[in-house]
Amino acid sequence: MSLQDNGGFEIVLQHHQMPRLHFTPPERFRFSTDIQIYISHVNQGGHLDNAQLLTLVSEARVRFFKTLGYSEGDVAGHPIVVGDIGAQYQSEGFHGEVMCVSMEPTDFNRYGFDLAFQMREKASGRDVALGKVGIVFVQREIKKVAPVPAAFLQRLDAVFGPDAP
């Protein structure tokens, strides 16, 4: 049995197995940044810790917004928050490896969008993780969701080209 939304996110349920997340990556990623795995990112098993993977994705997210000329506290006049995050692990990452984290804004709705990500080990191209971060715009004064600012959409077009919604 499979439950899927229209954003490429799928939960696969198989008889007597734990449900698993599966992501379908976008056709292309128009932003990427390199981030090295430090010893503080590694767990006792000797590989990239799952919580630290989210730290690396968060750093890439900050860089994505910075490329657009924004900080997360002020994206076209609104702060953003992470509404949800999901990751599908594909292989281990190790101390000293450089991860290429690629991102693409997808699945826009009235109040935000998904920031799809793909993490690969740079030297070999080995897939490490795939997932998405749900971005939500907020009205600072009343702390409620806000519509996606038109200025943000215009900036996406200007920086990444017309494929942005």
pLDDT digits (tens, 9 = 90+) for 36-86: 999 999 999 999 999 999 999 999 999 999 999 999 999 999 999 999 999
Whether residue 91 is predicted with pLDDT greater than 80 in this model: the reply is: yes
Q: Average the pLDDT over 122-142 and give the result.
A: 97
| Contact status, residue 118 vs residue 88, Cβ threshold 8 Å | no
pLDDT confidence of residue 110: 97
Q: Average the pLDDT over 83-98 and give the result.
A: 96
Q: What pTM value is reported for the model? A: 0.87
| Contact status, residue 86 vs residue 125, Cβ threshold 8 Å | no
First to last CA, the chain: 32
Nearest Cα neighbor of 22 from 30, 33, 14, 31 is: 14
pLDDT confidence of residue 1: 44
Q: Average the pLDDT over 3-19 and give the result.
A: 59
**How buried is 148 (Cβ within 10 angstroms: 0-12 exposed, 13-18 middle, 19+ buried)?**
buried
pLDDT confidence of residue 15: 59
| Contact status, residue 118 vs residue 127, Cβ threshold 8 Å | yes
Q: Average the pLDDT over 82-100 and give the result.
A: 96
Q: Average the pLDDT over 146-152 and give the result.
A: 97
Q: Which amino acid would we find at residue 51?
A: A
pLDDT confidence of residue 8: 62
SS (H, E, C) the chain: CEEECCCCEEEECCCCCCCEEEECCCCCCCEEEEEECCHHHECCCCCECHHHHHHHHHHHHHHHHHHCCCECCEECCECEEEEEEEEEECCCCCCCCEEEEEEEEEEEECCEEEEEEEEEECCCCCEEEEEEEEEEEEECCCCEECCCCHHHHHHHHHHHCCCCC
